[in-house]
A and B are shown apart, each in its own frame.
Chain A
Amino acid sequence: MSNGKIISQEPIIELKHIDKHFGSLHVLKDINLTVHKGEVVVIIGPSGSGKSTLCRTINRLETIDSGEIVIDGSVMPKEGKKLAELRSQIGMVFQSFNLFAHKTILDNVTIAPRDVLKKSKREAEEEAMQLLKRVGVDSQAGKVPAQLSGGQQQRVAIARSLAMHPKAILFDEPTSALDPEMIGEVLDVMTELARDGMTMVIVTHEMNFARRVADRVIFMDGGSILEEAAPEEFFAAPKTQRARDFLNSLGDRESRS
């Protein structure tokens, strides 16, 4: 593994033969993917290749046509209480942050632990403050999301996920909506999470970050997983022509940064 990290063989997320259409568009084609405990999987690929859809399929924000999703040994049902419960075990961080606009930063982080996990207000707030401190926005706890910068909002979103003690966190292009000067602060928080052993699935266009943090890189195109390899292997010698084309298309931007 890339950073000498030893990954357990305990599967946290298992996708088995997932197929999905948007109307006539076959957006996920027989996707099979297992993410192990402590593993960081980075998904890359051209725009429209189905990365977001795959990411959102893991906690069933998208419906699927066929296949099975297993979270830490439990099959994710289509709907109902059990689905909500399994979802609560998988965090999700979105491109557009999606903080609750009417709640303070502190309340954004405590609402789910209190209402879903039934924690006391005091316990939830104490932990929330620790998490906000960990991501460096504890001084903003009393403000509302619109008063924060994008980078700060995204770090709050990460803290909100962490407050549920998730078994894994999904990131769908977490830095794509950020001004360039704020990308670093979010990637730093994510790097730290990876170092602490969090299981992560990350869709991103930040190739240097992928090189540094990924245990495994997955290359998608046209709704299929075309390559799956350790980052040094993938970036040095992509096997498919489409992966080579994709990496070339990123061009100078990446070789410079």
Chain B
Amino acid sequence: MMSVGELLSQFGDKYLQALWTTYGLTVLCFAGALVLGIAITVMRICPIKPLQWFGDFYVQIFRNIPGAALLIVLVYALPYLRVMLSYYMCVLVAVTLIPSSFCSEYLMAGMNTIGAGQIEAARSLGMTFFQIVKNVVLPQALRSTVLQMTNLLVATMLTTALASQVPLNPADLTGIVTYINTHAVGGITAFMISAFFYAVTAVVIGQIGNRIDKKVRILR
């Protein structure tokens, strides 16, 4: 089996590319999950019943199916519907949809910290539903869920490992392990290097999240 040094000198650039693939997927998926999660949450609290039902249904679906199953559906089933997505896009979509449902759940919980009185005050000032969402509900829900969103970002990064299940070039941090082990004898060490990158990134994200939380936390 190869040592860490041998692995890095032979596959260092591959690891770097893999790291970028993972980071790129993580950033895109998390941003997408935030936007989608916010949109779904607005549907769930809006006065229009069918939109509420749709939002609740959406969350139940994507919160409760395995990511791998969703990816399989996207890769194998979509072509039957004449929708052709690249492998990369399939991973992107799967790893956006699942975290978006969790994002919405966190926001719904975060909203419970906002007193009904503040909403009534906003209504009495003449604000419309969207103005209340924009001025009162979302800012407070987001600011009170920074730690949950931080965890979600880490979870999203770990979920991008689904990319290893489809042929990607360059591969992601998990996929690269398979690549190395088919081209050399990296064994468990090849995986440990990837794990190290995941872990370090997660710790850094956690630290940044803690700082942001301290800064934006709402005094009550």
Chain A interface residues toward B at CB < 8 A: 59, 61, 79, 81, 84-92, 94, 96-102, 111-112, 115-116, 144-147, 157, 160-161, 164
Contacts and interface: CB of A to CB of B under 8 A. Distances in A.
A170 to B, nearest CB: 8
Contacts of A81: 128
A92 B124 CA distance: 6
A102 B140 contact: yes
A94 B117 contact: yes
A87 B115 contact: no
B14 interface: no
A242 B88 CA distance: 76
Interface string B125-142: 111100100111001100
Interface of B: prevailing SS: helix
A112 B127 contact: yes
Contact of A98 (B47, B120, B127, B220): B120
Contacts of A115: 127, 131, 134-135
Contact of B117 (A86, A96, A161): A96
Contacts of A91: 124
Nearest to B219: A146
B218 A98 contact: no
Given A111-B135, A146-B219, A100 B124 contact: no
Interface string B40-64: 0000000100000000000000000
A112 B125 contact: yes
B126 A98 contact: no
A102 B143 contact: yes
Closest 10 CB pairs of A and B: A88-B126, A146-B219, A98-B117, A92-B124, A112-B125, A98-B121, A116-B126, A87-B126, A102-B218, A84-B126
28 contacts: A81-B128, A84-B126, A85-B126, A88-B126, A92-B120, A92-B121, A94-B120, A97-B117, A99-B118, A100-B122, A100-B136, A101-B140, A102-B139, A111-B125, A111-B135, A112-B125, A112-B127, A115-B127, A115-B131, A116-B125, A116-B126, A116-B131, A144-B218, A147-B219, A160-B125, A161-B125, A164-B125, A164-B126
B116 to A, nearest CB: 9
Nearest to B142: A102
Contacts of A98: 115, 117-118, 120-121
A87 B117 contact: no
